Chains A and B, each alone.
Chain A
């Protein structure tokens, strides 16, 4: 039973356009959410995070939106660049002593020049 779902295995976007990656979760105990980016042959790299007390967090070209009532978050990349082509993982952590994150299966983003 997947508690964190990334329903789109892949996404293709034109350079300069917006990329929107989606993530749904089922566990209402999750209160901290993260996005990681992974290039081939490298480990994931932390990208951006959001706490459940916020509904938006922005960092340069990257913005994460959280809709707690829908248990949905999304990552917006504007404008998309070819170097953004990678696999993006959504992760969610519960509050309290055990912060063990649960990861989605990832979405492969391809940005075409």
Chain B
């Protein structure tokens, strides 16, 4: 079974621009979560989608948004990029609506200059 895939793997953007990241979960998985990891920080939860509905949201500004499509693929969007948004963005999928064990993709490394 193919793992979680994320595109692109690397991205360089300029302050003020917006960016869209994509995540394809493991086949059959309906829950997709997004995390931000910055140097020296643990993974910080952004949001979770299940069956196209946002189920949980972390403590991030409204510039961060996401969506999930009917095939469970998910996208994450960050508008008006700031330097502090430079981070590794990780997507994770799980099979069940309430599932503690998640399968992570390799991440998208976003650099904002």
Contacts and interface: CB of A to CB of B under 8 A. Distances in A.
Contact of B100 (A41, A42, A49, A103): A49
A43 B101 contact: no
Interface string B35-59: 1000011111100100000001010
Tell me what chain B mostly uses at the interface: helix, strand, loop, or mixed.
loop
B78 to A, nearest CB: 19
A45 B104 CA distance: 7
Interface string A4-40: 1010000000000000000000000000101010000
A104 B41 CA distance: 8
A89 B90 contact: no
Interface residues of B, number: 23
B20 to A, nearest CB: 19
Interface string A58-81: 000000000000000000000000
A105 B42 contact: yes
Nearest to A97: B98
Nearest to B101: A46
A59 to B, nearest CB: 13
Contact of B42 (A42, A98, A104): A104
Contacts of B43: 44, 89, 91, 103
Contacts of B103: 46
Nearest to B107: A43
B106 A41 contact: yes
Interface of B: 4, 35, 40-45, 48, 56, 58, 90, 92, 98-107
